[in-house]
Chain A
Amino acid sequence: MKRRAAEIRIGMGSCGIASGAEAVRDALVRAGATVKTVGCNGMCHREPLVEVVEADGRVLTYGNATPEMAKSIVRRRGWQAEAPALQGQRIVLENCGIVDPLNIDDYLERGGYRALTMSPEEVIAAISESGLRGRGGAGFPTGRKWALARSQPSAVKYVICNGDEGDPGAFMDRLVLESDPHRVLEGLAIAAYAIGASEGYLYIRAEYPLAVRHTREAIRQATERGLLGGLRLEVREGAGAFVCGEETALIQSLEGKRGMPKLRPPYPVERGFRGQPTLINNVETLASVPWIVRHGAAAFAALGTGNSRGTKVFALAGKINRGGLIEVPMGVTIRQIVEDIGGGIRNGRAFKAVQLGGPSGGCVPARLADTPIDYDALAQTGAIMGSGGLVVLDDRDCMVDIARFFLKFTQSESCGKCTFCRIGTKRMLEILERLCQGQGRPDDLDKLETLADYVSRGSLCGLGQTAPNPVLTTLRYFRDEYEAHLHERRCPAGRCPALIRYRVNANCIGCTLCAQACPVGAIAYRPYERHAVDDQLCTRCDMCRQACQDDAIEVI
């Protein structure tokens, strides 16, 4: 093997740039280094992240890099011997943080776009055998979807990559498209070859400008080299409607209409975009495909448990020490993710629950943390695998507030087509807001459950059918909190503004930090005296408590 010079990589995904990676890169260049800009390797909590790969393959990591560190990086000093927390087989994220997303040669060197020797039927058989299921949330077997699309007699077929990642708290599609767009294109090209399509679209959220730019550039490069096998690809930007992540709504949106879902069947694989058979797959699903084709279905199926095979990417966020993007084999437990990979809860607080699957998912309480990550086990808890948002909550998070938060989201994103979804979510939200205000009525909890049932049964698409999940799971596992809000007008987690007050306790040393922090002047400036919060002026912004060095401000 050719001896390679050391390579200095800097992560320039959206989160890297947001943490100041551009300044670090410029400083490195000024210090005389040749820098390779790569995407994000998932260690978002260490951004800006610089990695130096020595000629002998050793990797030196510099986390939270600053421009001042450039000189010591060039001289290989002061690196952290931190093993990447995210171990194990990487499939979707194989190249993330390693290849330059704007350089197709990098991807080719890592085995990309290898010529297909299989017939379309063999490809479909391989995908079926691998046990790959749709990673967008619903988990439909991908092989079966492809076989259905292939069996359609129509001459014109379309493939669509669904990158309309609207779930709040999920960002794996963004990261994959930003860091390794060629992998998704290759997956899409293989899908098109398997079902016999000659035209494809990538529907990507407009909120992800970098992902859109990288994907467009990748299409240009791959088309130039003739690697897409005659497939014509185009990027369409989503216009900010969560419901367009639903496949029929996405098609409506591509056709230039309001993104409102349609009754299925006919499924898009039978009659979709422009009335033709259309195969829609999620970014992560498509990104798994090239690996399966390269390494064989058996290698993929060897990972995971039961009906859930392969790996799953999660966006780990919330009250966790090491947040970021992780790829784990199916079957690991929630506790392993939170404690081993995530490094436990921030500031030593207590682990309360994880929220999985965004507005369609639910909250799994800490006592069920040994639940393995697979489609069926998660469904039993009332949550869903979802697209992969995993938000960790600590004991200061109010579960009623979390339910209200998600319902507010689904209510405003409901397209309005189905009455139950349009009005039912609105009524449910009113009840939850009432509870958070301390104005709940005795029958509110029963009413919530009844409405939840109506909404999920009376809605056409996944948005409405799953909208009550956050409410139902929190009601199931944290009913005591709902009852405290309802009967005692009290928020046990100290979160709901209308139900809490701030008080200064005996720890106060009279340092006036809180008085300086208070934006509304609710704390009088009296040095060396115990301070007091004027409850009438207080807006519950929490700034005094954050400013206090002596734990003297408490929420009651």
Chain B
Amino acid sequence: MRKTLMAGSLVVVCVAILATDYVGAERHPFAARAAAEQKRVTAARLERKNRDNAVAWVLIAAAAAFLTFAKGLVGPAKVPVRGDRSATRGSRADEGVRPTLAAAPELDLEFVDQVVAKIGRGKEAGIPLLQAIQNHYRYLPDEALRRVCELTEITPAEIAGTSSFYGQFRRSPVGEHVVRVCHGTACHVSGARQITEELRRYLAIPDGEDTDAARLFTLDEVACLGCCSLAPVLMVDGHTAGKLTPATACDALKVTA
């Protein structure tokens, strides 16, 4: 930034000198003047020309420097060196996004009471209840499930059964953003595997886990998002991005930043 400003102001100064010299130049024919006057004018002109030559060189150099530095400012954001995990992690930490879910705070179970009152206490209400709880807390906290069992006819065994059976439910907290990579047939043949692998590498998610260390992104492989003609597709929070390549998939995560 400072370099750009310095180079830029140098350009302005050079242009200013050249312009004043151009404007101030005397353009009267020599013949009309006395010899001494002619000599003086010639000397002044030579001096001015020499100086302008030097200034012009400085201008060229300054302009080149200005363009180079300015490109760094306005051009595409610097892509972190891929494959270099520490660089990726570091750059994102610098942006000052706070890690969430550091310590689980006391859970507010008020919501569970409300939603049970709204949806019902019968066994059939089980799945809609779990869906509402997951929408609210973004996963199924044990305390909330216990509360559901206290309030309704649903037994702990049943709630454990359903919450582990359905793919939608999560029993552990998620990262701040959920990235759903579609692994439907069309996405599979268009390279969904490469996209998942690249995202894992980009986010530095260890094998066997689905969330990165700063708990910013949770990576989820889903069966089909139903946008097959845009394959391969991923969904970050509610936003869908299609026709991806491994490189653009990483860019798609930036919409959340």
- Number of residues on chain B facing chain A (CB within 8 A): 52
A118 to B223, CA, bound (A): 42
Query: Which chain A positions have C-beta within 8 A of B161?
Result: 257-258
User: Closest approach, in angstroms, between the C-beta of A239 and any C-beta of chain B?
Assistant: 4
| B residues 205-257 in Cβ contact with A at 8 Å | 222-231, 233, 238, 240-242, 245-247
Verify B165–A168 contact, CB threshold 8 A: no
Query: Which chain A positions have C-beta within 8 A of B229?
Result: 15, 44-45, 47, 316-317, 323-324
Check: B47 CB closer than 8 A to any chain A CB. no
Verify B124–A543 contact, CB threshold 8 A: no
Q: Which residue of B lies closest to A319 (CB)?
A: B189
Mark each residue of chain A from 228 to 259: 1 if its CB lies under 8 Å from any CB of chain B, else 0. Answer: 00000000110111100000000001111111
A323 to B233, CA, bound (A): 14
Q: Which of A73-81, A95-103, A139-147, A513-521 contacts B (4 or more CB under 8 A)?
A: A513-521
Verify B194–A541 contact, CB threshold 8 A: yes
A21 to B228, CA, bound (A): 17
Mark each residue of chain B from 94 to 137: 1 if its CB lies under 8 Å from any CB of chain A, else 0. Answer: 00000000000000000000000000001111111011000000
Q: Which residue of B lies closest to A205 (CB)?
A: B226
User: Closest approach, in angstroms, between the C-beta of A143 and any C-beta of chain B?
Assistant: 30
Query: Which chain A positions have C-beta within 8 A of B167?
Result: 239-241
Verify B226–A318 contact, CB threshold 8 A: no
Verify B127–A239 contact, CB threshold 8 A: yes
Verify A256–B124 contact, CB threshold 8 A: yes
| A residues 387-431 in Cβ contact with B at 8 Å | 389, 391, 393, 397, 402, 405-406, 409, 413, 415
Verify B83–A315 contact, CB threshold 8 A: no
Of listed B125, B128, B168, residue having the most chain A CB within 10 A = B168
Verify B165–A323 contact, CB threshold 8 A: no
User: Closest approach, in angstroms, between the C-beta of B256 and any C-beta of chain A?
Assistant: 16
Verify B168–A239 contact, CB threshold 8 A: yes
- Number of residues on chain A facing chain B (CB within 8 A): 62
Q: Which residue of A lies closest to B79 (CB)?
A: A516
Contact A543 B225, CB 8 Å, known A18-B241, A18-B242: no
Query: Which chain A positions have C-beta within 8 A of B126?
Result: 256-257
Query: Which chain B positions have C-beta within 8 A of A15?
Result: 226-227, 229-230, 242
Q: Which of B4-12, B32-40, B49-57, B178-186 contacts A (4 or more CB under 8 A)?
A: B178-186
Check: B69 CB closer than 8 A to any chain A CB. no
Query: Which chain A positions have C-beta within 8 A of B198?
Result: 519, 541, 543
A389 to B197, CA, bound (A): 26
Looking at the complex, which one of A165, A254, A391, A543 makes contact with B246 (CB distance below 8 Å)? A543
Query: Which chain A positions have C-beta within 8 A of B166?
Result: 239-241, 259
Contact A169 B247, CB 8 Å, known A18-B240, A206-B131, A389-B185: no
Check: B91 CB closer than 8 A to any chain A CB. no
A63 to B29, CA, bound (A): 67
Contact A168 B241, CB 8 Å, known A207-B222, A236-B128, A324-B229: no
Query: Which chain A positions have C-beta within 8 A of B190?
Result: 318-319
Check: A19 CB closer than 8 A to any chain B CB. yes
Query: Which chain A positions have C-beta within 8 A of B169?
Result: 239-240
**B contact set with A: CB distance below 8 Å:** 82-83, 122-128, 130-131, 154, 158, 161-162, 165-169, 183-186, 188-191, 193-194, 197-198, 201-202, 222-231, 233, 238, 240-242, 245-247
With A241-B166, A519-B198 given, name 12 new contacts (CB 8 A): A15-B230, A168-B185, A239-B166, A239-B169, A255-B124, A257-B126, A317-B231, A323-B228, A389-B185, A391-B185, A391-B228, A520-B201
A-B pairs with beta carbons under 8 Å apart, 11 shown = A14-B240, A44-B230, A208-B226, A237-B128, A239-B130, A239-B166, A257-B161, A317-B228, A391-B189, A519-B201, A542-B194
